[in-house]
Amino acid sequence: MLSRRHLLSLAPGAALLSIGGRAAAAPQRVISVGGALTELIYALGAQGELVGVDSTSLYPVAATRLPNVGYARTLAAEGLLSLAPTMIVATEEAGPPAVLRQLEAAKVPLHLLRAEHRFDGVLDRTRRLGDLLGRQQQATALSKQLEAEWATSRALVAKVAAGHRAPRVLFVMSNAANQARIAGSATAADAMIGYAGATNALGDVQGYKMLSPEAAIAAAPDVILATTQGLETSGGIDGLLKLPGLAHTPAGQQKRVVVMETMELLGFGPRTPQAVKTLAQGLHASAGPGKAA
């Protein structure tokens, strides 16, 4: 079985061709498995090398027109190999392991990047993709841009969070009617809630857990955080609040719900600085002075 350390170091960099006495990167056929990685590839200007993406690659819209290799955690080697990739980039969440072993056996360079839910992880992935795609200069420029945007974002969070208690936020991920999960600590949702100057109402629980009336009511959130995709699945805000226990929470009683697109909120890609600003403004406006005090 392949260890994580081994997988993270699989395959050398792109092959080089000699052109005019200089080494130049050979044209790549890249498959991106992970919406945030796809967004970074576009931000680096390397989208012309993409030949396939996974089902979470919904932004920019152009990415949805590329061949889709399925969900990151349930990949099939046949679909990946049919696109004749010269490189596959994914996060360490990709799988299943048997498929990763098949890709290694097929000698397709597979690069698994760490899926860290923090802003520094965005910068790390930017630099790593820059190295893999021969876009080091673009990666340096993008990193500087992201750092500047992050500083602006942090300043805005401090401003909107001042003067009142941090709102208690319950993130609800709804994938089907009456089936939803809520996010505890060590999740992307937890990290984003913290960056936005709020408190995860389920912070004493680790990971995701199925939503139950008891858990929702005990969390007593001031605001419910949901995704646009989850809200659509649930049938809008009224449908969402019909999920177990939510209507009996302070947030449910006041219909205080903040909604963001899934990958913008949870992807930790190049939109993260702006996503934190948007989230902070939404959460603190919904539960500002006189509401979450």
Amino acid at residue number 251 = A
* DSSP structural state of residue 185: B
**Domain residue ranges of the chain, discontinuous segments joined by +:** 4-142, 163-286
pLDDT tens sequence across 49-97 = 999 999 999 999 999 999 999 999 999 999 999 999 999 999 999 999 9
Same-fold call for 4-142 versus 163-286? yes
Q: What's the average model confidence in pLDDT over 13-26?
A: 41
Q: What's the average model confidence in pLDDT over 175-189?
A: 83
Tell me the pLDDT band of 178, cut-offs 50, 70 and 90. Answer: low
pLDDT at 109: 95
pLDDT tens sequence across 190-213 = 999 999 999 999 999 999 999 999
Q: What's the average model confidence in pLDDT over 26-34?
A: 90
pLDDT at 265: 97
Q: What's the average model confidence in pLDDT over 10-35?
A: 60
Tell me the pLDDT band of 233, cut-offs 50, 70 and 90. Answer: confident
The mean of the pLDDT values for the chain is 89
Q: Which CATH architecture does the domain made up of 4-142 adopt?
A: 3-Layer(aba) Sandwich (3.40)
pLDDT at 18 over 70: no
Portion of the chain with pLDDT greater than 90, in percent:
80
pLDDT at 74: 96
Instruction: Answer whether 170's CB lies under 8 Å from 181's CB.
Output: no
Query: What is the Cα gyration radius of the chain?
Result: 21
Amino acid at residue number 141 = A
Instruction: State the burial class of residue 282 (Cβ atoms within 10 Å of its Cβ: 0-12, 13-18, 19+).
Output: buried
Domain 163-286 grouped into CATH 3.40.50.1980? yes
- What's the whole-model pTM score? 0.87
- Going by C-alpha positions, the residue among 177, 186, 160 that lies closest to residue 258 is 160
pLDDT at 168 over 60: yes
pLDDT at 4 over 70: no
Distance, in Å, from the CA atom of 195 to the CA atom of 53, rounded to the nearest integer, reads 29
Distance, in Å, from the CA atom of 161 to the CA atom of 193, rounded to the nearest integer, reads 12
Instruction: State the burial class of residue 246 (Cβ atoms within 10 Å of its Cβ: 0-12, 13-18, 19+).
Output: buried
